[in-house]
A and B are shown apart, each in its own frame.
Chain A
Amino acid sequence: MKKQIPALVSLLVVAAVLCVLPFVLSDYNVSLAAQVGIFFVAVLGLNILTGYTGQISIGHGAFMAIGGYTTAVMSRDHHTNLVVTMLMAFAICFVVGLIVGLPALRFSGVYLALVTFALAVSIPNIPNQYSTFLGGVGGVTSSEEVSNLWIYVAAWSCSALLFLVAWLILRGRVGRAFRAIRDSEIAAVASGVELPVYKTLAFGISAAYAGVAGSLFVLATNGFAQPSEFGVFLSLQLLIGAAIAGLGSLWGVLAGAAFVGLLPQVSTSVPVIGAEHGRDVIFGAAVILVMLLLPDGFAGLVARLRRLARA
C-alpha cells in the first residue's frame, strides 16, 4: 500500500492537469495535446508487447490502419456512432492481432522486426487494390466530423480507461507471465508459462490498442482514412515511442507519446533547417540521441536515478 501512494498521487496529478488543459490552451494546441493522447493509447499497447513481453514490432501502424478504416467505413456506409466504431476497431484488431501473433511465435528478435516491417510497408497497399470498398488511393471519409476538443476528450478518456485495463492485466498472472517471457523465454517455459498463449495474447492486446488509436487518428485527420496516412513512418513513430517508454510506467509512456506526438510538429519551426526538412532531421537525430543516452528508455532512466538516489 505504501508503494502505491506515490503512484496514485502522480495519477491524480496527471488527471488534474489533463482536465485543466483545454481551458488554458488555444484550440490549435488542444489538437496537439489530442495527438499526444492518441499516441499515448498506441504506445501503451505497443509497450505491452515490447517493454513487457520483449517482442519487437515495426508493424503496428498496420493495426492503426485497420482500426482507422473500420471507423471510416462504418461511419460512411452505416452512419454508425463513432464511439461504437471505436469499440469495433478494438475488437477487430484484437482478433487480427491474435492471428498475426500466431506465426509471430516462430520468430524472435530481429526476424520479428523484419516481418512486422514488411507488414507495415505492405498493408497500406491493400486499400489501393480493392478500391471499390476501401476507397483506393482517395481513401474513405467518415460521414461525421468532430472538433479538436472532442478528439482531446475521446483520446484522453480512452487513455485513462485503457491505462486502467493495462494495469489490471499487468499486475496479475498475465503480467507476470509477460515479464517472465521478456527476461528469459527458456526459463519461462521451464517454469510452466505457455509461451504461445501469452505471446499471442500480447500481440492481440497491443493490436487492439493500436486499433483504437487508429480510429482516433482518422477522426483527427478530418475523418479521412487514406493509405498514405499509414505509411512506414507511423509504425516507426510507435516503436520509437514504446522504446522511449522503456518498461511502461505512466511517465514513460507519457514521455514516449509526447516525444513522437509533438517533436515532428515542433521541429518544423526550427530556423536553420527550415520547415521543409526540419522534421526528419531533428526527429531522426533526437531518436538516435535518446537511444544512445537512454538505451533502456525512460524506465532505464528511472532505474538509474533510483540507484543514484540510494547510493
Chain B
Amino acid sequence: MQVNRRKFGALLCVLLATAAVAGTAVASHTSKTPGVSKHQIVIGGTFPYSGPAALYKTIPSAELAYYAYVNAKGGVFHRKIKDLTLNDEYNPAETVPAVKKLVEQKHVFAIVGSLGTAPGLATWKYLNQRHVPQVLLATGDAYWGKCVHRACPGAGSTSPKPWTMGWQPDYPGEARLYAKYILKHKPNAKIGVLYQDDAYGKNYLNGLKSGLGSHKSQIVDAQSYSVTDSGPVVGSHVVHIAGSGADVFVIFATPSAAIAALVTEGQIPNWHPLTFNNNVSANRIFMQLAASKGANPNGVISTTYIESQTAQPNLAGMKLAKKIIHKYAPALDDQFASGDNNLVYGLAVGWTFVDALRHAGKHPTRKSLMHALRTMTEKNNPFIYPGMSVKTSKKDTFPMEQLIFEKWGGGAGGDWKTFGKVLNSGH
C-alpha cells in the first residue's frame, strides 16, 4: 500500500505542476501586435554572453544602454523599449530554443541585432514562417541580403526571407576591397589566407577570390581553422602560410584566432608580409592585446564603417557615445575609453532601430517596421563614419555598403588611422 501512496503522491505533483504551467500559459495574453502595448515595445535578441565569441558581449550592452537613453527621453511615441537579450553562446543548438522562447513565450515584437551567422542560419526560416522581423543582424554574411524577396534555390536559399535583414557592410564586399588594394599596390603578390572554416570565413574567402578575378591563382596558401581551435593550433597554420612564401597575409578570422595569428606572425623570424585583418577583429583592444603578446601591429590594414572614440574623440557622435555609456552603462566606461568599438557598433545599431521604429508609425506593426527598414535613408546616424549612410530600398537589401581603409600605427599603444576616401563595397 505504501508503494501506491507514494506513486499517487508523485502523480499529484505532476498534475499540480501541469496546472501551474498551464496557468502561466493562459495568463500571458497575446495582444493584436505581439510585443506592442500602450507603454512598451518588447524586442529580443540572442548574443554570445559566454563561449568562444564572448568578447562581443559589449554589443548588446551598448544596445541596452542606447535604449535606456531613448527611454529616458520618453521612448518612441511614449512607448519604452524593452530588449530581452538571451545567451546562446554562439551555438545554434542554443539559439533555436532561445528564439522559440522569445517568440512563443515572451511574444516579442521583433528579433533585433542577434549575433552570428550560424545562429542566424538556424533560425531565419522559423522566423520568416511566422512573419517575425529578424533584423539588424550582427553578421556581415552576404546571405542576409541575397534572395530576400524571391527564393533562389541555386544559391541554397530555398525560400524568400523578406523578414530578415542585416546591417553592417557585407563580408564579400570588404574582401573585394582588399583584393583591389592588393592588385593596385602589390600586383605580383603571393597571398596567404587564414580563414574560419564556416559560412562566415568562406564568405570572406570567396569575396577575396572574386575581387582578384583572374589573379586568384596568386593565393598560394589558404589555411582554414575551426572556431574551437586553440591559439597554438591557429599558430601552426600561420607557420604553414609563412612557409609557403606568401608576402601578403590576409586574416579572415574571429578575434581570438585573429589575435593568435598576429602574435604568431610577430614571432616568425624574417617574415614581414603586408597584413590585412578583417574588420570584425580589428577592434582596438584586440590589436593592443595582440601587440602586448608579441605581435607587430604597425602597418596592418583593415577597414571601418563606424567612428572611433579614440581616433576621433571630438566628433559629436563620440561625445554623445561617451555620455550614454557613462550614464547608462558606467561599468563599461573603462572599456569605452580603451577603445572597444563594439560599444560604438551597438549604439549605431540601436540608433538605426529606433529611427526605423519611429518611421513605423504611431501604431507600429511588424509589417510597418519591415516597411520602414526596407525604405531607409539614414544619413545622420551619429555613430557611423562621417559621410556614410544606411540605405535600403526594394532593390537594395544591404543597408550599409560603404567602407574606409585604415592602417595601424604607433605600436602597442597606437591606434588605427583611416586613409583614402569612403569607398563603395556594394554590388
A and B touch in the complex (CB under 8 A): yes
Instruction: Give residues in A with beta carbon < 8 Å to B.
Output: 6, 9-10, 13-14, 17, 20-21, 24-29, 31, 35, 125, 128, 131, 136-139, 145, 220-222, 224, 226, 228-231, 251, 265, 268, 275-277, 279-280, 302, 305-306, 309-310
| Residue from A20, A28, A224 in contact with B100 in the complex, judged by beta carbons closer than 8 Å | A28
Instruction: Give residues in B with beta carbon < 8 Å to A.
Output: 2-4, 6-7, 10-11, 14-15, 18, 21-22, 25-26, 28, 49-50, 57, 84-87, 90-93, 96-97, 100-101, 104-105, 118, 121-123, 125-126, 129, 197-199, 226-227
Instruction: Give chain B nearest CB distance to A67 CB in angstroms.
Output: 15
Assuming the contacts A9-B7, A26-B25, asked whether A138 and B97 have C-beta atoms less than 8 A apart, the reply is: no
Complex Cα gap A25–B23 (Å):
9
Secondary structure of the B contact surface, majority rule? helix
Assuming the contacts A128-B197, A265-B101, asked whether A6 and B25 have C-beta atoms less than 8 A apart, the reply is: no
| Residue from A25, A35, A268, A277 in contact with B21 in the complex, judged by beta carbons closer than 8 Å | A25
Residue of A nearest to B200 (CB): A137
Question: Which residues of the partner chain B approach A277 to less than 8 Å between Cβ atoms?
Answer: 49-50, 87
Q: Is the CB–CB distance between A221 and B92 below 8 Å?
A: yes
Instruction: Give chain B nearest CB distance to A27 CB in angstroms.
Output: 6
| Residue from A10, A128, A228, A279 in contact with B7 in the complex, judged by beta carbons closer than 8 Å | A10
Question: Which residues of the partner chain B approach A229 to less than 8 Å between Cβ atoms?
Answer: 91-93
| Residue from A14, A31, A228 in contact with B92 in the complex, judged by beta carbons closer than 8 Å | A228
Q: Is the CB–CB distance between B11 and A13 below 8 Å?
A: yes
Instruction: Give chain A nearest CB distance to B154 CB in angstroms.
Output: 16
Instruction: Give chain A nearest CB distance to B155 CB in angstroms.
Output: 14
Q: Is the CB–CB distance between A6 and B3 below 8 Å?
A: yes
Which 5 pairs between the two chains have the least Cβ-Cβ distance? A229-B93, A26-B25, A276-B49, A28-B104, A137-B198
Q: Is the CB–CB distance between B93 and A228 below 8 Å?
A: yes
| Residue from A14, A131, A222, A306 in contact with B125 in the complex, judged by beta carbons closer than 8 Å | A222
Q: What are 29 A-B pairs with beta-carbon distances under 8 A?
A: A9-B4, A13-B11, A17-B11, A17-B15, A26-B26, A26-B28, A27-B104, A31-B100, A125-B226, A131-B197, A137-B198, A138-B121, A145-B125, A221-B93, A222-B126, A224-B92, A226-B118, A228-B91, A228-B92, A228-B93, A231-B93, A251-B10, A265-B97, A268-B101, A276-B50, A276-B57, A279-B87, A280-B50, A310-B2
Q: Is the CB–CB distance between A28 and B7 below 8 Å?
A: no
Assuming the contacts A26-B25, A137-B198, A251-B10, asked whether A306 and B2 have C-beta atoms less than 8 A apart, the reply is: yes
Known: A26-B25, A31-B97. 11 other contacts (CB 8 A): A20-B18, A26-B26, A29-B21, A136-B198, A138-B199, A231-B93, A268-B101, A276-B49, A276-B50, A276-B86, A302-B6
Complex Cα gap A309–B26 (Å):
40
Complex Cα gap A137–B96 (Å):
16
Complex Cα gap A136–B118 (Å):
11
Instruction: Give chain A nearest CB distance to B20 CB in angstroms.
Output: 11
Question: Which residues of the partner chain A approach B3 to less than 8 Å between Cβ atoms?
Answer: 6, 306
Complex Cα gap A145–B105 (Å):
20
Residue of A nearest to B52 (CB): A228
The total of Cβ contacts below 8 Å across the A-B interface reads 120
Q: Is the CB–CB distance between A6 and B7 below 8 Å?
A: yes
Instruction: Give chain A nearest CB distance to B159 CB in angstroms.
Output: 11
Complex Cα gap A228–B129 (Å):
24
Question: Which residues of the partner chain B approach A275 to less than 8 Å between Cβ atoms?
Answer: 84-87
Complex Cα gap A302–B122 (Å):
42
Q: Is the CB–CB distance between A221 and B96 below 8 Å?
A: yes
Question: Which residues of the partner chain A approach B226 to less than 8 Å between Cβ atoms?
Answer: 125, 128, 137
Complex Cα gap A25–B14 (Å):
13
Complex Cα gap A138–B121 (Å):
8
Complex Cα gap A20–B96 (Å):
26
| Residue from A28, A138, A276, A279 in contact with B118 in the complex, judged by beta carbons closer than 8 Å | A138
Q: Is the CB–CB distance between A224 and B122 below 8 Å?
A: yes
Question: Which residues of the partner chain B approach A305 to less than 8 Å between Cβ atoms?
Answer: 6
Complex Cα gap A221–B7 (Å):
34
Complex Cα gap A10–B8 (Å):
8
Complex Cα gap A25–B28 (Å):
12
Instruction: Give chain A nearest CB distance to B160 CB in angstroms.
Output: 16
Complex Cα gap A139–B93 (Å):
11
| Residue from A28, A136, A137, A276 in contact with B105 in the complex, judged by beta carbons closer than 8 Å | A28
Instruction: Give chain B nearest CB distance to A66 CB in angstroms.
Output: 16
Q: Which of B10, B92, B121 has the most CB of A within 10 A?
A: B92
Q: Is the CB–CB distance between B104 and A31 below 8 Å?
A: yes
Question: Which residues of the partner chain B approach A222 to less than 8 Å between Cβ atoms?
Answer: 96, 122-123, 125-126
Complex Cα gap A17–B104 (Å):
23
Q: Which of A6, A128, A137, A224 has the most CB of B within 10 A?
A: A137
Question: Which residues of the partner chain A approach B197 to less than 8 Å between Cβ atoms?
Answer: 128, 131, 136-137
Question: Which residues of the partner chain A approach B25 to less than 8 Å between Cβ atoms?
Answer: 25-26, 28-29
Question: Which residues of the partner chain B approach A24 to less than 8 Å between Cβ atoms?
Answer: 18, 22
Complex Cα gap A182–B86 (Å):
43
Complex Cα gap A302–B7 (Å):
10
Instruction: Give chain A nearest CB distance to B426 CB in angstroms.
Output: 25
Instruction: Give chain B nearest CB distance to A211 CB in angstroms.
Output: 17
Question: Which residues of the partner chain A approach B126 to less than 8 Å between Cβ atoms?
Answer: 145, 222
